[in-house]
Amino acid sequence: MTHLPALLEEHDLAGALEWLETQPPYAIADEIARMDAVESVISFRLLDKDRALEVFEELDPVDQQQILEGLRDQAFRDLVEGMDPDDRARMLKEAPAKVAQRVLAGLSAHERQMTAALLGYPEGAVGRYMTPETVALQQDLTVGQALEVVRLRGGRAETIYTLPVVDRGRRLTGIVELRELVLSEPDAMVSDLVVTEPPKARATDLAETAARLMRETNVLDLPVVDSEDRLVGLLTSDDAFEVIEAADSEDVARQAGAEPLERHYMAASVFQLSRTRMLWLMLLLVAATMTVTVTQMFEDELESATQLALFVPLLIGTGGNAGAQAATAAVRALAVGEVRTSDLLRVIWRECRTGVLLGAMLAVVGFVVGVFFVDPDVALVVGITLVVICAWASTVGGTMPLLAKKLRIDPAVVSAPMVTTLVDASGLIIYFMTAKLVLGI
CATH (residue range 137-237): 3.10.580.10
Q: Reduce the DSSP state of residue 6 to 3 states and report it.
A: helix
Does the pLDDT of residue 205 top 90, yes or no? yes
Taking CA 122 as the corner, what is the angle to CA 120 and CA 127, rounded to the nearest 5 degrees?
70
Contact 375, 311 (CB under 8 A): no
Sheet of 231-236: strand order equals: 201-202, 221-225, 231-236
What's the mean pLDDT in 357-380?
87
pLDDT value at residue 203 = 93
* pLDDT higher at 410 or 427: 427
C-alpha triplet 309, 315, 318: angle, nearest 5°: 155
| Bridge partner residues of 189 (DSSP) | 142
More confident residue, 93 or 21: 21
User: Which of 191-200, 344-353, 418-427 comes out lowest in average pLDDT?
Assistant: 418-427
Q: Kindly report the average pLDDT of the chain as a whole number.
A: 83
Give the up-direction half-sphere exposure of residue 270: CA atoms within 13 A in the CB hemisphere.
0
pLDDT tops 70 at residue 340:
yes
Predicted pLDDT of residue 202: 95
* DSSP for residue 261: P
Contact 251, 333 (CB under 8 A): no
H and E: helices and strands count for the chain: 21, 7
Question: What is the pLDDT at residue 44?
Answer: 83
368 pLDDT band, cuts 50/70/90, is confident
Domain residue extents for the chain: 4-124, 137-237, 269-439
Q: Tell how far CA 298 is from the center of its chain.
A: 43
Would the pLDDT of 247 be above 90? no
Mean pLDDT (whole number) for 181-208: 92
Distance from the first to the final alpha carbon of the chain: 69
Compare 275 and 163 and report the one with higher pLDDT: 163
pLDDT band at 339 (very low <50, low <70, confident <90, very high): confident
Max mean pLDDT among 4-18, 148-162, 287-301 falls in 148-162
pLDDT at 288: 61
Quick check: 189 pLDDT over 70? yes
- pLDDT value of position 431: 85
Candidate ranges 137-151, 243-257, 397-411; pick with highest mean pLDDT? 137-151
Q: What pLDDT is attached to residue 283? A: 66
Using the predicted structure, report yes or no on whether residue 131 has a pLDDT greater than 80: yes
Return the CATH number of 4-124, one of 1.10.10.10, 1.25.60.10, 1.10.10.60, 3.40.50.150: 1.25.60.10
Strand 162-166 relative to strand 172-177: parallel, antiparallel, unpaired? antiparallel
Helix (H, G, I), strand (E, B) or coil at 166: strand
Give the SS3 label for residue 426: helix
DSSP H or E segment with residue 221: strand 221-225
Is the pLDDT higher at 250 or at 236? 236
pLDDT score of 229 more than 60 = yes
CATH of domain 269-439: 1.10.357.20
Percent of the chain scoring above 90 in pLDDT: 26
User: Which residues contact residue 2 at a Cβ distance below 8 angstroms, ignoring those fewer than 6 apart?
Assistant: 15, 19
**Residue 168: per-residue pLDDT:** 87
Is the pTM value of this prediction over 0.75? Answer: no
Tell me the per-residue pLDDT of 416-425, one tens digit each, with 9 for 90 and over.
677 877 888 8
- DSSP annotation of 204 reads T
Instruction: State the CB neighbour count (10 A cutoff) for residue 324.
Output: 20
Model confidence at 280: pLDDT above 70: no
What residue type is assigned to position 274 of the chain?
A: S
* Residue 436 pLDDT greater than 80, yes or no: yes
For residue 225, the cross-strand partners are 202, 231
In the structure, what pLDDT confidence band is assigned to residue 232 with cuts at 50, 70 and 90? very high
In one-letter notation, the amino acid at residue 307 is: Q
Lowest-pLDDT choice from 36-40, 133-137, 174-178, 259-263: 259-263
Q: Kindly indicate the confidence band of residue 152, based on its pLDDT and cuts at 50, 70 and 90.
A: very high
Per the model's pLDDT, the better-predicted residue between 386 and 293 turns out to be 386
Q: Are 370 and 382 in contact (CB under 8 A)?
A: yes
